[in-house]
Amino acid sequence: MADSSVRILLVGCGKMGGAMLQGWRREKGLGPFVAVEPGGVPALDGAADVRVVPDAGSIPADFVPDVVVFATKPQVMDKVVPPYARFAGRALFVSVAAGKTIAFFRQHLGPSAAIVRAMPNTPAAVGRGITVGCPTADVTPAQRELADTLLRSVGAVEWVADEPLIDAVTAVSGSGPAYVFLLAETLAAAGAKVGLPAELATKLARATVAGAGELLHQSPETAEQLRKNVTSPNGTTAAALAILMGPGGFAGLLEKAVAAAENRSRELAS
């Protein structure tokens, strides 16, 4: 666990960066913080523990971070990262940007920079995300523990040693919330087609997906067993699952979708 002297530099305070910062501010022993955000962060105006600056050149000279977290959009990383190379050898670098590899950061930060590449997902905004991290060999046990603390502020954390696995992580948990939102969207549309008022169908679909997710979160049973618990022999659920689990059904489509997302993640990384 981090001690009270840990200084954190957040580069990018959008939805993901902002969610993490709020989590860090609740965590005892972290801070002070500097956030680099060109447009400013009105919600942090007057915050005693956070100083918001517009660019790397405006970071206070006496602020030497223990960790630099990159949370900007991947498309601008080429321009954003280089000014922070001056902290290499002193700070841990953590990236939550999709598609940006450790090799990319080595190119801009130097060959000896301690780097953690991490892939969070959007439920981090409500503290229910899951993040997978991959550290370089330069990351010390204490730095990995610090990275774990920072990432755990918005949800669960897992670790892998093989960086290419991040592409599969991206396809499953990084993009996964969109698959779930599509389920709610299409379930509502299907409900409207069988006669439900559209507003009611939407409420039923949202509540069902959210409630089933919470049951899955809290229950010690597997997803397979929970599915079986809902399915009475020859009942309505069984009739629906015969379609979803049949040829050309949900399992095959999702397998193809995850494979496509993994392949695209590799393309973006290269």
Mean pLDDT, rounded, for 28-41: 91
Mean pLDDT, rounded, for 152-177: 96
pLDDT confidence of 27, banded at 50, 70, 90?
A: confident
Highest mean pLDDT among 13-27, 38-52, 154-168: 154-168
Q: Is 69 within the bounds of a domain?
A: yes
Predicted TM-score (pTM) of the model is 0.90
CATH number of the domain encompassing residue 85 = 3.40.50.720
Strand order in the sheet with 92-95: 50-53, 30-36, 6-11, 67-70, 92-95, 114-119, 129-135, 155-159
Q: Which two tokens stand for residue 147?
A: 């990275």
Q: Are residues 84 and 23 in the same domain?
A: yes
Q: Are residues 241 and 261 in the same domain?
A: yes
Domain count, the chain: 2
| Residue in 203, 217, 205, 200 with CA at minimum distance from that of residue 181 | 205
Q: Are residues 146 and 33 in the same domain?
A: yes
Q: Is 14 within the bounds of a domain?
A: yes
Here the contacts of 61-64 (C-beta below 8 Å, separation 24 or greater) are 63/7, 63/9, 63/32, 63/34, 64/7, 64/90, 64/91
Kindly tell me if the per-residue pLDDT of 1 is higher than 50.
no
Q: Are residues 141 and 245 in the same domain?
A: no
Q: Is 200 within the bounds of a domain?
A: yes
Location of structure tokens 């955000």: 37
Q: Is 208 within the bounds of a domain?
A: yes
Q: Is 84 within the bounds of a domain?
A: yes
Q: Is 1 within the bounds of a domain?
A: no
Q: Are residues 34 and 161 in the same domain?
A: yes
Q: Which two tokens stand for residue 79?
A: 């321009």
CATH number of the domain encompassing residue 236 = 1.10.3730.10
Q: Are residues 125 and 243 in the same domain?
A: no
Q: Are residues 142 and 256 in the same domain?
A: no
pLDDT tens figures, 11-23? 999 989 999 999 9
pLDDT tens figures, 68-113? 999 999 899 999 999 999 999 999 999 999 889 999 999 999 998 9
CB atoms within 10 A of CB 51: 16
Kindly tell me if the per-residue pLDDT of 4 is higher than 60.
no
Q: Is 23 within the bounds of a domain?
A: yes
Which structural domain range is residue 69 located in? 6-165
